[in-house]
Structure formats: C-alpha cells, structure tokens
Amino acid sequence: MELVNVEQLQELLNNFANEDVYIHLETTNGAYASHFNENVFNAGAFIRNVMLRYELGKVVGEAPHRIGLKLPHGWVYAQGITHFELDEHGRLLMAGHDQSGKLAVALQISRTPFTY
C-alpha cells in the first residue's frame, strides 16, 4: 500500500464507475477498544461482497482523505483513508491506518467477488 496520491486514486475510482462492482467497507475500533479503555464506545460496521454500481466516485480533502461513491439511489462513503493500492487482481484497495498503523477503515472495490 502507498500513501494516497489524489490524482492516481481519482483516476482509479473513475475506472470502476458505471459498472457492477463488489464492495468491502469496514470501520473498526478493534474488538478490544472498550476492554483497554472503558470510556470508549465501541462501534463499527462491515459489509463485504455487496454488489452495486456507482455513477460518480470522488476522493476529497487533505490526508486522511474522504471517498464518496454516488449511486443512482444512494451513497457510500468512507473517511480516514490514508493508503491505496491496485492489487495484483485489479482490485482497488483503500485503507485508513491510525497513528500506530492499525487499520481503522477500509473501502475496497472489485469487479470479481472478494474471498469469503
């Protein structure tokens, strides 16, 4: 993974627009967040291999970046994205790593389903 380059990432987002794609979207504090600190309200969400089609994808803001996908009838967005990669299977992987390197958010787009 590399630090987000806005121009490159924008071009990759454009490449997946207007076709059926599989999405992985995840936000997390980690399962131990409120074990280590009882004041942490532990919330997160996860979807994987949900198929959708977006008409506009945008990367916005200074690092960490925000990514928004506009759908015909809705939206997907992620904030806190720091890194990206087009992997060997042609999948666009985006992730947000916190100050200690731990993953906090992931948004991934693929033309084929991700593994289980």
Partner 1 sequence: MTLPMERHVLVVFPHPDDEAFGVSGTIATYIKQGIPVTYACLTLGEMGRNLGNPPFATRETLPHIRKEELLASAKAMGVTDLRMMGLRDKTIEFEDDEKMVGMMENLIADTNPSLVITFYPNYAVHPDHDATGRAMIRAIRRMPESSRPKIYALAFSNDSKGVLGEPDVVHNIKESKEEKMGAMRAHISQTAWMLEEMDKRLADGEPEAENWLHFERFYTYDFSKDFE
Chain residues binding partner 1 by CB under 8 A are: 1, 24, 26, 28, 30-32, 35, 38, 46, 83, 85, 87, 91, 93, 95, 97, 100-104, 106, 108, 114-116
From the CB of 26, what's the least distance to partner 1, in Å?
Answer: 7
From the CB of 56, what's the least distance to partner 1, in Å?
Answer: 24
As a whole number of angstroms, the distance between CA 82 and CA 55 comes to 23
Q: Indicate the residue among 36 and 75 with the shorter CB distance to partner 1.
A: 36
Q: Indicate the residue among 59 and 108 with the shorter CB distance to partner 1.
A: 108
As a whole number of angstroms, the distance between CA 18 and CA 37 comes to 43
Q: Indicate the residue among 18 and 37 with the shorter CB distance to partner 1.
A: 37
Give residues with Cβ within 8 angstroms of 67, minimum separation 6. 9, 13, 57, 58, 59, 60, 77, 78, 79, 81, 94, 107
